[in-house]
Amino acid sequence: MMVIIAEFLVVILKVLWAFVTAGAKWVVRPKEKSVAGQVCVITGAGSGLGRLFAKEFARRRAILVLWDINSQSNEETAEMVREIYRELDSETTMSKDGSVGGVEEVPPFQPQVYTYVCDVGKRESVYSTAEKVRREVGNVDMLINNAGVVSGHHLLECPDELIERTMVVNCHAHFWTTKAFLPKMLEVNHGHIVTVASSLGLFSTAGVEDYCASKFGAIGFHESLSHEIKASDKDGIKMTLVCPYLVDTGMFKGCRIRKEIEPFLPPLKPEFCVTQCMRAILTDQAMICTPRIVYMVNFMKSILPFEAIVCMYRFLGADKCMYPFLAQRKELMNNNEAKEDI
């Protein structure tokens, strides 16, 4: 009995210490780790947040491996990355030319970016592409599971194929990419897996049942995997969960909350979102919600009665915030069908 009590007291002390260290990080910003020369795989790199993540990692001299289903947009991202590499190379050369005798010269920076067409919704494509990466690039140090889709239909109007596609790309693909790259990370006890989820994986709204379910699933997968890695004592492998509020990438174009509230909670600028996420990733932060009010909303959802949540949603205009977006998608599809008929 005394042993249990002693262990319980130790647990309490560790919990309190966790609060102290977490609070300290809000006061003193932790030093960002270097990812120079590390191989970083980014899914969905052809546009949106994936493209911005690629540019940020390129500025930090990482070796980029870009995956996207669209070859053209993926190559456009790669060219942006190469331009960043060229700028870095130019800066390094200037530093070398201006160096004084006796000072160690900085070796020229070699641009390295690889592009692969991969449909993460097909596990065979994921596994075969992962094998190519291992063969052509080497072992992967960082995996950014970013690829995502949205169907844009009310549940009863959504074809089953689109529901399945949303679940597979937004959730199941994380299983496959992780199974492809995690074994080597475990072997060398080094790596970092980032799950780009959504605030809609923490709390939901009407009209996007498939999207919310896929993001809830991705978060559940991430949290369970985090516990598994902790249980295996692999402290060299880090996990970061990214849960942003609505990001202005066009994915949910038309989504609106109450107009009086919107100035205080506007859609996030993609660049701001990625900057915040990069800070969390490079300081090995376990979870990043942006803006920080998302933490509060998630906590309130856990303790308040469901009817209280409904009242808050209605006040904020969040209960039907997706309806304008869904209406726009429906109108766009109808127009496309009309053009095809013509």
**DSSP structural state of residue 169:** I
How many C-beta neighbours within 10 Å does residue 289 have?
21
Q: What is the side-by-side order of every strand in the sheet holding 142-145?
A: 113-117, 63-68, 39-43, 142-145, 191-196, 237-244, 287-290
Cα torsion 166, 171, 200, 247: sign: negative
Residue 166, CA distances (Å) to 120, 149, 152, 206, 215 in order? 11, 6, 10, 16, 10
Maximal CA-CA distance, the chain: 82
Cα-Cα-Cα-Cα dihedral sign, residues 276, 279, 281, 287 = negative
SS3 24: helix
Question: Other CB atoms closer than 10 Å to residue 308's CB: what's the count?
Answer: 12
Distance (Å, rounded) from C-alpha 35 to C-alpha 61?
7
- What six digits make up the tokens of 178? 């992780």
- Selection from 293, 288, 290 nearest residue 261 by Cα: 293
Q: Give 147's DSSP letter.
A: -
Please state, in angstroms and rounded to a whole number, the distance separating the CA atoms of residues 294 and 300: 10
Type of residue numbered 317: G
Residue 282 to residue 194: CA distance in whole angstroms: 11
Q: Is 211 a catalytic residue?
A: yes
Among residues 85, 116, 211, 245, the one annotated as catalytic is 211
Is residue 24 a contact partner of residue 164, using CB atoms and an 8 Å limit? Answer: no
- Picking from 134, 154, 155, 152, the residue whose alpha carbon sits closest to that of residue 143 is 134
What is the set of active-site residues? 211
